[in-house]
Structure 1
C-alpha cells in the first residue's frame, strides 16, 4: 500500500491509499464517519491480489482537504470527488464499495452514474429511500437516529470538545462495536486525526449538509414528497453486508431493498456491530471476494 496526494478537478486534494496492479479491475472503497481510509485496512491485502484498490480519505477527513462551509459537503460534491478521483487515475469502470457515510455516497453514485459503477458493495449503510421512510414510519429507527440531530446542532463541536475526544471515541466507536477489536494504535490514530484544526467541524458538516429529514422522537411527521414517487431501481450487481448488532442502523434497513435493487445479495453477521469492516474483517473480505468472483465479466 502506498499513500499519494491526488489533486482533483473538483478543487480538493485527497490523500489516497493505493494497492494492487494498476491494470487490474479497479475497486474504490469509501469510508464513513468518523474514520479514514484505515476503515478498510484489513481488506487491502486480499483485494489487492487481483484488483487495483483505491481508498481515499474523503474530503473533510484525516489527511485530505477540509473546505470551509456546510455547502462544501453536499452529497453531489462528494460524489463528484469519487468520479474525479477515478478520472485522475484513468479508470473508467469500477466496483464501488462504501461503509457508513461512504455507503451513502456509494448508493448515490451508483444511482447517478450506472454506466461507470459496474458493481456495488454496501456495508452498514442504508439506502436513501429505505432510510428516509424508516425515519418517519419506524419509531425505533427514529430514536436510534437522534444522534444526527445532535451532530447537526451548532453547539456540537463545543459539546464534543468539552467531553473530550477520548470520551467521544468511547461513545461513538466503541459503543457501536466490539471494543476489543480496536487496537491501541488505531485508537490513537483516530484521536490524532480528530484533533487537527478544523477536522471536527468538517466531519460534522457531512450531517449538516444532508437533506435527510430526522424528526424528533415522538414528533408528528409525514413522508417527504420525493419518497412518494416511484424510486429508480439499481440494476448493477449489488452486495449488502450488515452487522446486525448495529445500534444506530437497525435491521429494518434491509427490509424492502429488493424493491429498489434488482440484482441483490445480502450477507449478515449476528455478532458484528456497525464497524464490521474491522470487527469481523474476515466476514467482509470473504463476502466481497465471493461477490467479485461470482460477478466477474
Structure 2
C-alpha cells in the first residue's frame, strides 16, 4: 500500500509517497526531471512489501509549498539540505539513499558531504559528478548529448518551447518510454503556474563540477545503454570515484527512464544492494 505523506521542514512542506512499516529501515528515493515522486511507485510498493520504510518526496520546486522563485535557491547546497532536513523529520539518523537523474546528482552530493548519514547509495543514470565533468570536458559525444542544458538554462525561452503546442516538446522528452498516463500527470503538474520554471531552475543554478570527493559509502550505480543524455564515458569512469563496495550494472536496450521502463530489474538490483549492506 502506498500512502501520501507530507514532510514539514524549515524550507516548507514536501509532498511525497511512502510505503512500508513506519519504524522500519528508511529508504529515501529522489526523482529527476521532469518527473515526480510517482516515478518510484513500483519501487515503493516492493520496498514496502520487503519490510523497508520507503519514502519518495516531490523535491524542491516540485512540491508546491517548496517552490522559491530565486534561481540561487536551487543550488546543490540547498537540495542537499532538503534531503537531510527530510531525513531528520522522518527520524532517520542513517538511511539508504536512491536517486535518478537530478535525484542521482543530489544523492552523490549527499554521499560526498555526509557519508555518516548513509548506509548505502544507489545512483541511477547520472554518474559521479567528477566523472561527468571530465566526460563533458573531454568527450565530444557527451558534449553533444548535453547540448540541451544550454536550452533549458534560457529563462522564458525554455518554458515556452516545452509548453507550446500542448506541451509537445515536453512530451517528447519521455521518448514514448514512460506510460502515457504517467506522462499526462507530469505534464499537468509542470503546467501549473511557476512549476516548470522551478524545475528548470535546477539547471539554471547548476555547476558542472559538483563534488569532487571520493565516495566512501557502499554504492550501486545503474546506467542504461540507450540513455540519450548520458554516455558511456562518465558511466565507466565512475568507479574510480568510489572507495567502498561498488557495483556497476549496465541495462541493455533501456532508455534514460530506468525506474519506469525497467522497473522490475531496477527494483531487484536495489533490493540486492540493500540486503548486502
Deviations 1:256-296 (A, max 9, x none): 2221102210111111110011001111001001111111x
Look up the match of 2:77: 76
| Aligned-pair CA distance for 1:65 | 2.3
Deviations 1:208-256 (A, max 9, x none): 000127xxxxxxxxxxxx99xxx43211110011111101101112222
Look up the match of 1:264: 246
Look up the match of 2:168: 166
Q: Is the 8 A contact 1:166 1:191 kept in 2?
A: no
What secondary structure sits across from 1:33 in the alignment? coil
* Alpha-carbon distance in structure 2 between the residues aligned to 1:186 and 1:169: 11
**Structure number having the greater strand percentage:** 2
Within 5 Å, which residues of 2 pair with 1:77-116? Answer: 77-116=78-117
TM-score w.r.t. structure 2 length? Answer: 0.94
Within 5 Å, which residues of 2 pair with 1:134-213? Answer: 134-154=135-155, 155-170=157-172, 172-174=173-175, 179=176, 181-212=177-208
What secondary structure sits across from 1:15 in the alignment? strand
Structure 1: which 5+ runs fail to align? Answer: 214-225
| Aligned-pair CA distance for 1:163 | 4.4
What secondary structure sits across from 1:247 in the alignment? coil
Corresponding pairs, count:
273
* Alpha-carbon distance in structure 1 between the residues aligned to 2:44 and 2:65: 20
Alignment RMSD, CA only? 1.6
Deviates more, 1:41-50 or 1:137-146: 41-50
| Aligned-pair CA distance for 1:86 | 0.8
Q: Is the 8 A contact 2:174 2:183 kept in 1?
A: no
Structure 2: which 5+ runs fail to align? Answer: none
* Alpha-carbon distance in structure 2 between the residues aligned to 1:97 and 1:56: 12
TM-score w.r.t. structure 1 length? Answer: 0.88
